[in-house]
Amino acid sequence: MNISLRILAVAVIALALPFTTHAESVTWTSPVLPSLIAIGADGPDLGTIHLEQLIATITYGVTVWKLDNSGAKLGIIPSGSAVPVGTRVLLEFNQHQYQDIYWFGTGWGYDSPYGDWVNDAANPSPNTINLRYNSSYLSGLCIPKNLYSTDLKYSNATSDEYATLSVAPPAKSITLGGAPATCTSAANGYDQVCTLGEPGTVTADFAFAETKGKFYAAEYRKQGGNSVGKCQSDGKPMALSGGKRQTAGDYQLTIPQQAIPFSITVTDETGVPPNTPSIVGGPSGSSVAGSSACTTGVPYTITMTAVDPKADTIRYGIDWDGNGIVDQFVPASGYVPSGTAQTATRTFSTDGAKSIKVFAQNSHGFTSAWATYGITCSPAQQNTATSTSIFRGTDGGTDGGGGASISPALNIRAIPSLVSPGKTSNINWSATNVATCTVQGDNGDSWVGTVSPISGETSSPITKKTVYTLTCKTRSNSILTAKATVNILPTWVEQ
């Protein structure tokens, strides 16, 4: 298949998300790559896999953390932030994730697989050759994230085709400039722990050296429709199309050096940190203050109050899971007057004891000690009251499972709901007074549970308008649904 490519200018919209960490990133997008071929000449039982009009994207990320004197992470510092003299920071390269490699091709490719990070861009599954497995169990290269076409027809079989882009992790380095800082290298040799000892602007250039990538492919063929098939590959990198394997030559993608600039303004403001916050919690909407009992699937709200000795404005950093890392700042942007109470809500999806931690930070960057608030969540129980609240599901059924004025409630959101092509969205959902739930995207994304993780589930890269449907079964077996849509940013075509 031949496709004419046009230059697209995309408008990018930046959204402030309540649970989004402020990591910095850079994404490299390849030009259109040459057509590739795999398998073909080296196996009499194997078909030929073609990839055409390939485009790959590689994303790198870094995070700068504020540290306490023991080295524990207090929270993330966005580039351009101001902090007081004496602040300790960790300049950290993010761990590589397979979702950071995303590629697609036209022609015979119908899906958009991810990739793998492997030293020397080697085959992540070199023993795929003639690997036999049952249709309910996938292995080798034939795993869901590598799928790009299905049910290709042969004379006596059908075939699903898989491929991955293997990328060698690049060498990493940090170059510091501007105001002096005292730094030591972390154990991995490239992260840096620094004390910012003088006023001024400290710059840090995070560098990712040039590296390489190689494509590998396999097919899963079911002979005669048999449920037991083979994941087959010659194990070699894909070759340039236009000849047999012996003469075409392996293809290697060159990924150029990338850099992420970062700056911090160090101030000589004198001051003291805010007082440690006080915390009061309780189920959302409850008139009972100070209740440490929560119910899974039911929103739980905390109220935080702190006073700054110099009456500086403040904000609150919340660690919902007690791991010492800020999950949410309240307010999401800016600061509030000293002594102003702020609230935040979280719906827990698992039962048991929880440790919620909160600190106060003033506008000069001084941070209080953590305040810890413990709660215990219990599984949701079905209400057995005699009066009944009716909720009509999409199947026409009703939920008459009992419960005084309590009906099932479904909520699903995509954040952001408008993305540029190839970017992701966080899918957040919750459901109360239901038995089970699933979320299904019409792009193949799928999750199970009545409540999403605190930061939501990350979607696959969005390449077209995508609808996510939350489907829940009530205790009386009615089916209820709610939907969220992710749209693609408008594009303009140069003729």
Q: Tell me the CA end-to-end span of the chain in Å, nearest whole number.
A: 22
Looking at the structure of the chain, the number of domains it has is: 3
Q: What is the pLDDT of residue 117?
A: 96
Q: Does the N-terminal peptide bond of residue 299 adopt cis geometry, omega within 30 degrees of 0? A: no
For residue 7, tell me if it sits in a domain. Answer: no
Between CA 137 and CA 291 the distance in angstroms is: 47
Look at residue 81 and give its three-state secondary structure.
strand
Cβ atoms 417, 484 nearer than 8 A: yes
For residue 10, tell me if it sits in a domain. Answer: no
For residue 185, tell me if it sits in a domain. Answer: yes
Q: Are residues 254 and 294 in the same domain?
A: no
Between CA 109 and CA 11 the distance in angstroms is: 27
Structure tokens at 181: 């800082």
Number of H helices, E strands in the chain: 1, 38
Q: What is the pLDDT of residue 121?
A: 96
Q: What is the pLDDT of residue 46?
A: 53
Q: Are residues 219 and 288 in the same domain?
A: no
Give the residue carrying structure tokens 């990493």: 172
Pairing of strands 115-117, 157-167: parallel
Cβ atoms 442, 429 nearer than 8 A: no
Between CA 221 and CA 229 the distance in angstroms is: 6
Cβ atoms 398, 476 nearer than 8 A: yes
Q: What is the CATH number of the domain that holds 363?
A: 2.70.50.30
Domain boundary among 264, 293, 323: 264
Q: Are residues 146 and 260 in the same domain?
A: yes
Between CA 446 and CA 468 the distance in angstroms is: 9
For residue 400, tell me if it sits in a domain. Answer: no
Question: 462 φ, ψ to 5°?
Answer: -90, 120
pLDDT digits (tens, 9 = 90+) for 213-256: 999 988 877 665 555 567 778 788 988 876 454 445 689 999 99
For residue 6, tell me if it sits in a domain. Answer: no
Q: Are residues 284 and 247 in the same domain?
A: no
Domain that holds residue 167: 22-264
Q: What is the pLDDT of residue 306?
A: 96
Cβ atoms 213, 255 nearer than 8 A: yes
Q: What is the pLDDT of residue 7?
A: 20
* Radius of gyration of the chain measured on its C-alpha atoms: 27
Q: Are residues 106 and 166 in the same domain?
A: yes
Q: Which of 21, 207, 219 is nearest to 108 (CA)?
A: 219
Q: Are residues 282 and 305 in the same domain?
A: yes
Structure tokens at 481: 């649904």
Q: What is the pLDDT of residue 128?
A: 65
Q: Are residues 39 and 154 in the same domain?
A: yes
Domain boundary among 264, 297, 313: 264
Cα-Cα-Cα-Cα dihedral sign, residues 114, 119, 122, 127? negative
For residue 17, tell me if it sits in a domain. Answer: no
Between CA 371 and CA 389 the distance in angstroms is: 40
Maximum C-alpha span of the chain: 81
Q: What is the pLDDT of residue 256?
A: 97
Q: Are residues 146 and 283 in the same domain?
A: no
The list of the chain residues with pLDDT below 70 reads 1-23, 39-47, 106-111, 128-139, 151-157, 222-229, 242-249, 270-271, 285-290, 380-407, 454-455, 489-495
Between CA 448 and CA 84 the distance in angstroms is: 44
Structure tokens at 170: 């690049």
Q: Which residue(s) pair with 18 in the sheet?
A: none
Q: Are residues 218 and 156 in the same domain?
A: yes
Asked whether the whole model's pTM tops 0.75, one would answer no
pLDDT digits (tens, 9 = 90+) for 29-66: 998 888 888 754 444 455 677 777 788 999 999 999 98
For residue 158, tell me if it sits in a domain. Answer: yes
Q: What is the CATH number of the domain that holds 462?
A: 2.60.40.2470
Q: Are residues 259 and 282 in the same domain?
A: no
For residue 4, tell me if it sits in a domain. Answer: no
Q: Are residues 333 and 256 in the same domain?
A: no
Give the residue carrying structure tokens 């070699």: 236
Q: Are residues 282 and 228 in the same domain?
A: no
Residue 445's Cβ-side half-sphere holds a number of Cα atoms within 13 Å equal to: 22
Mention every residue, 6+ apart, whose C-beta is less than 8 A from residue 397.
476, 477, 478, 479
Q: What is the pLDDT of residue 23?
A: 55
Q: 83-116: string of b/e by CB count within 10 Å (b at 16+)?
A: bbbebbbbbbbeebebebbbbbbbeebebbbbbb
Domain boundary among 264, 295, 324: 264
CA angle, residues 255, 233, 223, in degrees to nearest 5? 140
* Residue count (the chain): 495
